Homo-oligomer: A and B are copies of this chain.
Amino acid sequence: MTSDLTKETLDEVVNQRRRQQRSLDTRERILQAAFEEFAERGFEGASTRNVAAKAGVQHPLVTYHFKNKEGLWRAVVTTTSFNFGQHFQDHLAGMTEKDEVARLRLLQEQFVRFAAANPNFHWLMSHEGKRDSDRLTWLVEERVRNYFDVMAKLIRTAQKQGRYVEGDPYHLQYLFIGAVTRIFMLSAEVQQVMGRSPFSKKFVDEHVRTCCALFFREPAESARPARVAAPRKSRRLTK
Protein backbone atom coordinates (compact mmCIF):
# COMPACT_ATOMS: atom_id res chain seq x y z
CA MET A 1 0.00 0.00 0.00
CA THR A 2 2.62 2.49 1.02
CA SER A 3 4.67 1.48 -1.98
CA ASP A 4 1.64 2.08 -4.17
CA LEU A 5 1.07 5.42 -2.58
CA THR A 6 4.69 6.36 -3.06
CA LYS A 7 4.60 5.30 -6.67
CA GLU A 8 1.50 7.35 -7.26
CA THR A 9 3.05 10.36 -5.59
CA LEU A 10 6.18 10.01 -7.69
CA ASP A 11 4.11 9.72 -10.84
CA GLU A 12 2.26 12.82 -9.85
CA VAL A 13 5.45 14.76 -9.32
CA VAL A 14 6.86 13.57 -12.63
CA ASN A 15 3.67 14.42 -14.42
CA GLN A 16 3.54 17.82 -12.83
CA ARG A 17 7.09 18.58 -13.88
CA ARG A 18 6.32 17.38 -17.39
CA ARG A 19 3.29 19.61 -17.45
CA GLN A 20 5.25 22.56 -16.12
CA GLN A 21 7.90 21.98 -18.74
CA ARG A 22 5.33 21.78 -21.50
CA SER A 23 3.68 24.91 -20.19
CA LEU A 24 6.96 26.78 -20.35
CA ASP A 25 7.60 25.52 -23.87
CA THR A 26 4.15 26.63 -24.94
CA ARG A 27 4.73 30.03 -23.37
CA GLU A 28 8.01 30.44 -25.21
CA ARG A 29 6.56 29.36 -28.53
CA ILE A 30 3.66 31.79 -28.17
CA LEU A 31 6.08 34.57 -27.24
CA GLN A 32 8.26 33.95 -30.28
CA ALA A 33 5.28 33.80 -32.62
CA ALA A 34 3.81 36.94 -31.06
CA PHE A 35 7.08 38.78 -31.60
CA GLU A 36 6.86 38.12 -35.34
CA GLU A 37 3.18 38.94 -35.49
CA PHE A 38 3.40 42.24 -33.59
CA ALA A 39 6.51 43.26 -35.53
CA GLU A 40 4.81 42.55 -38.82
CA ARG A 41 1.37 44.03 -38.20
CA GLY A 42 1.58 46.27 -35.15
CA PHE A 43 -0.56 45.88 -32.06
CA GLU A 44 -3.92 46.53 -33.66
CA GLY A 45 -3.21 44.63 -36.85
CA ALA A 46 -1.91 41.59 -35.01
CA SER A 47 -4.21 38.64 -34.46
CA THR A 48 -3.89 36.39 -31.44
CA ARG A 49 -5.34 33.60 -33.57
CA ASN A 50 -2.46 34.01 -36.00
CA VAL A 51 -0.07 33.93 -33.08
CA ALA A 52 -1.56 30.68 -31.82
CA ALA A 53 -1.46 29.15 -35.31
CA LYS A 54 2.20 30.14 -35.80
CA ALA A 55 3.05 28.74 -32.38
CA GLY A 56 1.13 25.57 -33.14
CA VAL A 57 -1.18 25.84 -30.11
CA GLN A 58 -4.89 26.33 -29.62
CA HIS A 59 -5.86 29.95 -29.46
CA PRO A 60 -7.38 30.02 -25.98
CA LEU A 61 -3.93 29.17 -24.65
CA VAL A 62 -2.79 32.67 -25.53
CA THR A 63 -5.17 34.30 -23.08
CA TYR A 64 -4.46 31.57 -20.56
CA HIS A 65 -0.75 32.39 -20.50
CA PHE A 66 -0.85 36.15 -21.04
CA LYS A 67 -4.30 37.25 -19.91
CA ASN A 68 -5.07 39.23 -23.07
CA LYS A 69 -3.60 40.75 -26.21
CA GLU A 70 -2.02 43.67 -24.39
CA GLY A 71 -0.44 41.39 -21.80
CA LEU A 72 1.06 39.41 -24.65
CA TRP A 73 2.39 42.58 -26.27
CA ARG A 74 3.98 43.75 -23.03
CA ALA A 75 5.60 40.37 -22.50
CA VAL A 76 7.03 40.49 -26.02
CA VAL A 77 8.41 44.01 -25.54
CA THR A 78 9.89 43.11 -22.17
CA THR A 79 11.71 40.01 -23.38
CA THR A 80 12.96 41.51 -26.65
CA SER A 81 14.13 44.66 -24.88
CA PHE A 82 15.95 42.45 -22.44
CA ASN A 83 17.63 40.72 -25.38
CA PHE A 84 18.57 44.13 -26.78
CA GLY A 85 20.28 45.08 -23.53
CA GLN A 86 21.83 41.65 -23.22
CA HIS A 87 23.40 42.01 -26.67
CA PHE A 88 25.42 44.98 -25.43
CA GLN A 89 26.34 43.22 -22.21
CA ASP A 90 27.61 40.28 -24.24
CA HIS A 91 29.69 42.37 -26.61
CA LEU A 92 31.04 44.96 -24.21
CA ALA A 93 32.07 42.74 -21.33
CA GLY A 94 35.74 43.68 -21.37
CA MET A 95 35.22 47.34 -22.18
CA THR A 96 35.21 48.95 -18.76
CA GLU A 97 38.74 50.29 -19.12
CA LYS A 98 38.54 52.01 -22.49
CA ASP A 99 37.82 55.68 -23.06
CA GLU A 100 34.27 56.90 -23.59
CA VAL A 101 34.52 57.66 -27.29
CA ALA A 102 35.71 54.12 -27.92
CA ARG A 103 32.80 52.88 -25.80
CA LEU A 104 30.36 54.95 -27.84
CA ARG A 105 31.81 53.66 -31.06
CA LEU A 106 31.47 50.06 -29.96
CA LEU A 107 27.93 50.70 -28.73
CA GLN A 108 26.95 52.15 -32.09
CA GLU A 109 28.65 49.34 -33.96
CA GLN A 110 26.84 46.78 -31.87
CA PHE A 111 23.61 48.66 -32.39
CA VAL A 112 24.07 48.16 -36.13
CA ARG A 113 24.83 44.48 -35.71
CA PHE A 114 21.83 43.97 -33.47
CA ALA A 115 19.61 45.77 -35.97
CA ALA A 116 20.88 43.53 -38.75
CA ALA A 117 20.17 40.42 -36.70
CA ASN A 118 16.82 41.63 -35.33
CA PRO A 119 14.96 43.84 -37.80
CA ASN A 120 11.72 42.73 -36.17
CA PHE A 121 12.73 44.39 -32.92
CA HIS A 122 12.79 47.78 -34.59
CA TRP A 123 9.48 47.18 -36.32
CA LEU A 124 7.99 46.23 -32.97
CA MET A 125 9.15 49.50 -31.47
CA SER A 126 8.38 51.68 -34.49
CA HIS A 127 4.74 50.68 -34.82
CA GLU A 128 3.93 52.36 -31.51
CA GLY A 129 5.83 55.59 -32.13
CA LYS A 130 3.49 57.02 -34.71
CA ARG A 131 0.72 58.21 -32.46
CA ASP A 132 0.13 58.68 -28.79
CA SER A 133 -1.23 55.83 -26.71
CA ASP A 134 -0.89 54.32 -23.28
CA ARG A 135 1.31 51.66 -24.83
CA LEU A 136 3.65 54.32 -26.21
CA THR A 137 3.93 56.09 -22.88
CA TRP A 138 4.70 52.79 -21.18
CA LEU A 139 7.24 51.94 -23.87
CA VAL A 140 9.04 55.26 -23.59
CA GLU A 141 9.19 55.34 -19.82
CA GLU A 142 10.11 51.69 -19.35
CA ARG A 143 12.37 51.02 -22.31
CA VAL A 144 13.24 53.97 -24.54
CA ARG A 145 14.06 56.98 -22.39
CA ASN A 146 16.85 55.37 -20.44
CA TYR A 147 18.59 54.21 -23.61
CA PHE A 148 18.45 57.70 -25.12
CA ASP A 149 19.72 59.30 -21.92
CA VAL A 150 22.71 56.97 -21.76
CA MET A 151 23.58 57.49 -25.42
CA ALA A 152 23.07 61.25 -25.25
CA LYS A 153 25.52 61.51 -22.38
CA LEU A 154 28.18 59.58 -24.28
CA ILE A 155 27.55 61.62 -27.41
CA ARG A 156 27.97 64.87 -25.50
CA THR A 157 31.29 63.67 -24.12
CA ALA A 158 32.48 62.71 -27.60
CA GLN A 159 31.33 66.05 -29.00
CA LYS A 160 33.37 67.93 -26.39
CA GLN A 161 36.43 66.15 -27.74
CA GLY A 162 35.44 67.00 -31.32
CA ARG A 163 35.01 63.30 -32.07
CA TYR A 164 31.30 63.32 -32.97
CA VAL A 165 29.19 65.51 -35.24
CA GLU A 166 27.71 68.64 -33.70
CA GLY A 167 24.05 68.90 -32.82
CA ASP A 168 21.51 67.92 -30.20
CA PRO A 169 22.48 64.42 -29.02
CA TYR A 170 18.89 63.15 -28.93
CA HIS A 171 18.28 64.48 -32.42
CA LEU A 172 21.50 62.88 -33.66
CA GLN A 173 20.65 59.55 -32.11
CA TYR A 174 17.34 59.54 -33.98
CA LEU A 175 19.25 60.20 -37.20
CA PHE A 176 21.66 57.39 -36.41
CA ILE A 177 18.91 54.90 -35.62
CA GLY A 178 17.01 55.86 -38.76
CA ALA A 179 20.07 55.58 -40.97
CA VAL A 180 21.02 52.23 -39.45
CA THR A 181 17.68 50.47 -39.27
CA ARG A 182 15.71 51.49 -42.36
CA ILE A 183 17.78 49.39 -44.74
CA PHE A 184 17.11 46.29 -42.62
CA MET A 185 13.47 47.08 -41.95
CA LEU A 186 12.77 47.49 -45.67
CA SER A 187 14.85 44.49 -46.66
CA ALA A 188 12.40 43.25 -49.30
CA GLU A 189 12.38 46.62 -51.05
CA VAL A 190 16.17 46.89 -50.71
CA GLN A 191 16.55 43.46 -52.29
CA GLN A 192 14.51 44.58 -55.30
CA VAL A 193 16.14 48.01 -55.67
CA MET A 194 19.76 47.08 -54.97
CA GLY A 195 19.71 43.46 -56.05
CA ARG A 196 21.46 42.32 -52.90
CA SER A 197 20.51 41.34 -49.39
CA PRO A 198 21.33 43.82 -46.63
CA PHE A 199 21.82 40.89 -44.25
CA SER A 200 24.96 39.44 -45.82
CA LYS A 201 28.06 39.63 -43.66
CA LYS A 202 29.81 41.76 -46.24
CA PHE A 203 27.01 44.28 -46.39
CA VAL A 204 26.60 44.51 -42.62
CA ASP A 205 30.32 45.18 -42.15
CA GLU A 206 30.14 47.85 -44.84
CA HIS A 207 27.06 49.29 -43.16
CA VAL A 208 28.85 49.50 -39.80
CA ARG A 209 31.73 51.39 -41.38
CA THR A 210 29.52 53.75 -43.37
CA CYS A 211 27.19 54.60 -40.50
CA CYS A 212 29.99 55.21 -38.03
CA ALA A 213 31.91 57.27 -40.58
CA LEU A 214 28.90 59.57 -40.93
CA PHE A 215 28.74 60.44 -37.24
CA PHE A 216 32.21 60.03 -35.79
CA ARG A 217 35.03 62.48 -36.36
CA GLU A 218 38.69 61.66 -36.09
CA PRO A 219 40.61 63.51 -33.39
CA ALA A 220 41.66 66.80 -34.93
CA GLU A 221 45.33 66.49 -34.07
CA SER A 222 46.31 67.70 -37.55
CA ALA A 223 44.47 69.70 -40.16
CA ARG A 224 43.44 67.55 -43.08
CA PRO A 225 40.72 67.56 -45.74
CA ALA A 226 37.27 66.32 -44.77
CA ARG A 227 37.28 62.75 -46.03
CA VAL A 228 35.06 59.85 -45.17
CA ALA A 229 37.37 56.94 -45.82
CA ALA A 230 39.73 58.23 -43.19
CA PRO A 231 42.19 55.86 -41.53
CA ARG A 232 40.76 54.38 -38.38
CA LYS A 233 42.27 52.52 -35.51
CA SER A 234 42.38 48.78 -36.06
CA ARG A 235 39.16 47.03 -35.18
CA ARG A 236 37.67 43.61 -35.61
CA LEU A 237 36.82 43.83 -39.28
CA THR A 238 36.56 40.37 -40.71
CA LYS A 239 36.33 41.56 -44.29
Which residues of A approach B to under 8 Å, CB–CB?
40-42, 44-45, 123, 126, 128-133, 136-137, 139-140, 144-145, 148, 162, 165-168, 170-172, 174-183, 185-194, 206-207, 210-211, 213-215, 217-218, 220, 223-230
Residues of chain B within 8 A of A168, CB atoms compared: 194, 206
- Choose among A132, A133, A162, A174 the residue with the greatest number of B CB atoms under 10 Å from its CB: A174
Number of copies: 2
CB < 8 Å: which of B165, B189, B207, B210 contacts A228?
Answer: B165
Let me know if A210 and B148 touch, CB within 8 A. no
Let me know if A126 and B186 touch, CB within 8 A. yes
What's the least CB distance linking A192 to chain B, in Å? 5
Contacts A179-B175, A229-B166 given; indicate if A131 touches B218 (C-beta within 8 A): no
Contacts A126-B186, A128-B189 given; indicate if A213 touches B45 (C-beta within 8 A): no
Residues of chain B within 8 A of A123, CB atoms compared: 130
CB < 8 Å: which of B140, B215, B217, B226 contacts A192?
Answer: B140
Bound form: Cα–Cα A132–B189 in Å: 8
Residue of B nearest to A217 (CB): B226
Let me know if A214 and B215 touch, CB within 8 A. yes
Let me know if A172 and B210 touch, CB within 8 A. yes
Bound form: Cα–Cα A160–B165 in Å: 23
Residues of chain B within 8 A of A162, CB atoms compared: 225, 227
Residue of B nearest to A225 (CB): B220
Bound form: Cα–Cα A144–B80 in Å: 32
Let me know if B193 and A140 touch, CB within 8 A. yes
CB < 8 Å: which of B177, B215, B217, B229 contacts A182?
Answer: B177
13 A-B pairs besides A123-B130, A226-B226 with CB distance below 8 A are A129-B185, A130-B188, A136-B189, A139-B189, A145-B193, A162-B225, A170-B193, A171-B206, A175-B183, A178-B180, A178-B183, A218-B226, A220-B225
Let me know if B218 and A175 touch, CB within 8 A. no
A-B contact pairs, 11 of them (CB 8 A): A41-B45, A45-B45, A123-B130, A132-B188, A165-B210, A165-B213, A168-B194, A174-B186, A176-B179, A217-B228, A223-B224
What's the least CB distance linking A228 to chain B, in Å? 4
What's the least CB distance linking A194 to chain B, in Å? 5
